[in-house]
Amino acid sequence: MIRQMRYLWRLVAICLAVSSPAMSETVTLICNNPYQPSNPPFTIELDQARSTVTQDVPATARVRASSGTYTATFTANEIKYNVNEWVYTIDRVTGNVTANAGAGAVMNFPCHVGKTQF
């Protein structure tokens, strides 16, 4: 029950932080790569006022860095942007990111809103 309540509050926090129609502040998502769990988390900074996202994926021994600022489309339900052949979709309710390169190449990344903890 406690776990379910934490999940519910996390969803509420994501909705409040990401879905504000007059979002003037940037919001940072912290995401994990379940396909390579030993990799450090990566971040996605959302700037609705500028219609951009800044993705920062640190380089590792197996993966080169994938960082940059990209033009994004912000709608009520999702945020979309392209990085090379990949189309990234951020679900504004769950905060999860789906990366799709077509031909069955789909990856899902769990994310949460990064906030000052103390």
Q: 98 pLDDT exceeds 80? A: yes
Tokens standing for 117? Answer: 């903890």
Tally the domains of the chain. Answer: 1
* Residue 52 forms part of a structural domain: yes
Identify the H or E element spanning 111.
Answer: strand 111-113
* Residue 44 forms part of a structural domain: yes
* Containing structural domain, residue 61: 2-113
Residues 6+ apart with CB under 8 A from 60: 36, 38, 39, 40
pLDDT band for position 104 (cuts 50, 70, 90): confident
* Residue 54 forms part of a structural domain: yes
pLDDT band for position 37 (cuts 50, 70, 90): confident
The span from the CA of 30 to the CA of 98, in Å, is 14
Per-residue pLDDT reduced to its tens digit, 40-90 = 899 999 999 999 999 998 877 666 667 899 999 999 999 999 988 899 999
Q: Note the pTM of the prediction, 2 decimals.
A: 0.73
* Residue 118 forms part of a structural domain: no
What torsion do the CA atoms of 43, 26, 68, 64 make, to the nearest 10 degrees?
-10
- DSSP for 55-74? EEE---SSS--EEEEEEEEE
Per-residue pLDDT reduced to its tens digit, 1-31 = 555 445 444 544 554 455 444 456 899 999 9
